[in-house]
Structure 1
Amino acid sequence: MRAPATRLAYIDGWRVLAIMLVFLDHLGANREIGAFYEASPIGFISQYGETGVFIFFFISGYVVSRACLAEVESSGAFSAPAFYVRRFFRIVPPLMLYLAFCLALGAAGFIDFSPENFLSAALYLCNTTAPDVSCNWYVGHTWTLAFEEQFYWLFPVAFAYLELGKAPRPIAAAALLFAAAPFAFTIWWIGKTGFLIAYALFFAGYAAAKHGERLIAASQGCRVPALIAAMVIVFLPRGVVASFGQDEAARAEFIAYYRLLYIAAIPAMVLLSGATGPFRSMLSNRALSYVGRASYSIYLWQQLCNGPVFNDLEAIAELALTAAMVGCCLLLFPLELKLAGYGHALSKRLQARRGAAVSASAIPPAAAAVLE
């Protein structure tokens, strides 16, 4: 029987590394820091913001899949409403707080922010070029949240079908349309390949949650070399990859297709790090893990700190502002935990109701575990 989906501290460590990659990228918007990147041989460290996002995508798929697999294993049932409730209370309140704050700053004239920006981000459409979508810098980063929310709508449908053989209900059509929106209305810098990579990594998280232990066991004896190889693939500087192209268009195309290697390399890197003692110990540091748990809010608010209004700050002031923002997010994180806890409690009640309905029926649990 599958063990309960306990929290994996090393995964939180990876969240910190991923958010740091985003930080290093976005800090380049600052005039002084951007100039440093241009002049420094280590400036390539600013090229991995998208890589950090792809790591988040895999982690999201992995974490939610572990929880759902544990639910099916323990009860023989799966409640989509319970899943949606958990996700709602974890994702929506921090985003609404951030967007409301930006809306207030925009109304006061401190930043360029409109109700259209608010609505586009709140509807999780900033990874599309759909009509009337308006996403400026302050909500531009919610393209990643849009992919995650679209995946969360689709996942219960796919999960119920894959694990329980249940034919999707009408909600499947709406979930598929929502998930397909960024493919139909593609943003040039995400591209069709970016869409495919995002969903491949989400579902690689599901595959890792289901089969990861067997894959790790099979890798015994070559884990460290495989981990190093995966890290080299993921963190190979873009300049090295681009050097194989003959012109600008060819280099851009080569990089786009090279990213397809992330579909295998990122899951291997994350999973093998958790099976390799020194790496797991380093990533499971208690303080690091706490920051990783709060990384969602940190990701939201870093965009404001790196916005145009602060781009002319001295580098030290920009870094101090960023550090203060991280500190505030850590202080407020217990409130997030309370909201998430409420969502989990409500989710448990929905699961219990589903379990009671299954027990009262003559239908086998696996067949009755449905999308309500």
Structure 2
Amino acid sequence: MTDISATAGVLPRTTADKAARTRLAYLDGWRGLSIALVLIGHFFPVPGINLGVLGVEFFFVLSGRLMGEILFIERFPLKKFFKRRFSRIYPALLVFVIAAMIGLSGTFIAFKWKAALTALTFTYNYAGILINRAGALDHIWSLAIEEHSYVILALISVVVSGRGNVVRLLVALSVLAMANGAISYWVLGMDYETSYWRTDVHIASILLSAAICLLKADGRLPAFFRNRHVALGAAAGAVLLFLDPVPTPVHYLLGVPLLALAVNALDFAGGYLTGLLSSRPMVMLGLWSYSLYLWQQPFYKFVYDRGVTPIPMLAAVFACALASYYIVEKPARGWLNRNW
């Protein structure tokens, strides 16, 4: 995830940085909530709802909001943008994939270099459903979609002029992607992974959130949606729409738009919500969220497929993730951002 928060328009760099520093806490807290949902869903599943799937959607809509701010509002230089994305994502991913390939050798979720290559080239979301899956890497589908969205949004920022045109294009692409998912699942009878691991379907979450972000920045978000209770209400509505009895395509046709609205409406929310998200535990979870997301998958597979007790596995997740964050992710990002 990015380190820049919302701005009201195209601000000078120093002004944008100041706004980011004062408003970043509750966005980190949203990240913390996202990874908490994933961890609870994987290690302590709640009957009636897949919190792991819901947590990924929380991540996606946040990414859409932030990409909208960076690429279309702040107009961040693309060369620097992709360098920052690389320094944020790749070192920790590379270490995880190599360590997992070696450490899991001989286990039921061992994988070979071909699977590792699909993870490191962000093609796993298609290779995993078309060629061969590797359980320890199954979560990489979401990283692949996010990386693809960076490229698509960057291209749109270069090719399409006028924020109104950008918003219309983002909404149109979102609708097409959601319809694609519904047709794949309902009409063509594809399973969840084949339908919703694909970028041409799941990018809707990111694009729609970016579109709402731009409407908000241009003052075109209807006044009703700027109410202080909208963020909480929309998020609660989305959670209800992700309940198991609700058909899967409805999760994405109705639930995702509500989540996209919720993350963008945080700027108008009362202190009760932003205060909770800005609390130190939530912010710290948010800072560790990427490493936690990387490392939870193999341990989750031992719990889910082999019935291993979840608490020791979750403790191992935190141990590996904190080592990853403080030894790999944070130092590598800092060094690359300073020297590259």
TM-score (norm 1): 0.69
- The aligned residue for residue 56 of structure 1 is 59
**1:137 Cα deviation from its structure 2 partner:** 0.8
Instruction: Check conservation: 1:230, 1:269, Cα contact below 8 A.
Output: yes
How many residue pairs match? The answer is 299
Residue identity matched to 1:285: S
- Residues 141-166 of structure 1: CA deviation (Å, up to 9, x unaligned): 1110110111122221111223579x
> Does residue 204 of the first structure (1) align with residue 205 of the second (2)?
no
Q: Is 1:267 equivalent to 2:272 in the alignment?
A: no
| Pair 271,321 (structure 1): closer, same or farther in 2 beyond 3 Å | same
Residue number in structure 2 paired with 1:325: 317
Counterparts of 1:220 and 1:266, CA distance in 2: 13
Name the residue aligned to 1:20.
36
Which amino acid letter does the alignment assign opposite residue 58 of structure 1?
V
Matched residue, 1:128: 126
Within the alignment, does 1:10 sit opposite 2:8 as a pair?
A: no
* Structure 1 position 295, deviation (Å): 0.5
Q: Which of 288, 291, 294 matches 1:294?
A: 288
Superposition RMSD in Å:
3.4
Preserved contact between residue 16 and residue 295 of structure 1 (Cα < 8 Å): yes
Given that 1:57 and 1:198 are in contact with CA atoms closer than 8 Å, whether structure 2 keeps it comes out as no
Task: Tell me which residue corresponds to 1:153.
Answer: 151
- For residues 115-158 of structure 1, the C-alpha deviation after alignment (integer angstroms, 9 at most, x for no partner) is 22211211212211589743211011111011011112222111
Q: Which residue of 1 aligns with 2:331?
A: 338
d(CA) in 2 for partners of 1:191 and 1:325? 28
> What secondary structure is seen at the aligned counterpart in 1 of 2:133?
coil
* Aligned equivalent of 1:245: none
Structure 1 residues 111 and 125: CA distance shift in structure 2, 3 A: same
Secondary structure, in 3 states, of the residue corresponding to 1:135? Answer: coil
Q: Deviations over 1:295-350 (max 9, x none)?
A: 011001000111238854553xx213312421442344234223222343357xxx
Q: Percent identity?
A: 25
The alignment partner of 2:123 has SS state of coil
Q: 1:258 to 1:287 in 2, by over 3 A?
A: closer
What letter matches 1:55 in structure 2?
F
CA contact (8 A) 2:300 2:313 kept: no
Superposition deviation, residue 196 in structure 1: 5.7
Confirm or deny: 8 A CA contact 1:197 1:260 kept in the other structure: no
1:44 aligned counterpart, secondary structure: coil
Query: What residue ranges of structure 2 are gaps of 5+ in the alignment?
Result: 1-9, 164-176
Q: Distance in 2 between matches of 1:221 and 1:117?
A: 45
Q: Which has the larger radius of gyration?
A: 1
The change in CA–CA distance for 1:302 and 1:131 in structure 2 (over 3 A counts) is closer
What per-residue deviation string (whole Å, max 9, x for no partner) do you get for residues 43-86 of structure 1?
Answer: 225x12212111111111222332334543xxxxx532222111
CA displacement at 1:204 relative to structure 2: 2.6
CA contact (8 A) 2:122 2:144 kept: yes
Change over 3 Å in CA distance of 1:267–1:130 after alignment to 2: closer
The residue type paired with residue 42 of structure 2 is H
Q: Does 1:233 find its partner at 2:245?
A: no
Aligned residues of 1:234 and 1:266 also touching (Cα < 8 A): yes
Structure 1 counterpart of 2:237, one-letter code: I
Counterpart of 2:275?
281
Secondary structure of the residue that 2:148 maps to in structure 1? helix
Structure 2 equivalent of residue 141 of structure 1: 139
Q: Deviations over 1:89-139 (max 9, x none)?
A: 111111111110111124455742212221121121221158974321101
8 Å CA contact 1:127, 1:147 repeated in 2: yes
Question: 2:306 and 2:195 mapped to 1: Cα distance?
Answer: 35
Listed as ranges, the gaps of 5+ residues in structure 1 are: 28-32, 73-77, 166-178, 243-253, 348-372
In the alignment, the residues of structure 2 paired with residue 337 and residue 322 of structure 1 have an alpha-carbon distance, to the nearest angstrom, of: 22
Contact residue 302 and residue 308 of structure 2 kept, 8 A: no
State the SS of the aligned residue for 1:113.
Answer: coil
Contact 2:87 2:336 in 1 (8 A): yes
AA matched with 1:63 = L
> 1 or 2 for the larger relative contact order (CA 8 Å, sep ≥6)?
1
Aligned pair partner of 1:223 in 220, 228, 232: 228
- Return closer, same or farther for 1:311/1:279 CA change in 2, 3 Å cut-off: same
The separation in 2 between residues aligned to 1:197 and 1:270, in whole angstroms, is 20
Distance 1:221 1:70 in 2: 19
Residues of 2 paired with 1:81 and 1:56: CA distance?
Answer: 24
- Give the aligned residue type for 2:282: L
* TM-aligned CA deviation for residue 202 of structure 1: 1.3
The answer (yes or no) to whether the contact 1:305–1:321 under 8 Å persists in 2 is: yes
How has the CA–CA distance of structure 1 residues 192 and 106 changed in structure 2, closer, same or farther, with 3 Å as cutoff? closer
In structure 2, C-alpha distance between the alignment counterparts of 1:222 and 1:151, rounded to whole Å: 29
Equivalent-residue separation in structure 1 for 2:160 and 2:56 (angstroms)? 26
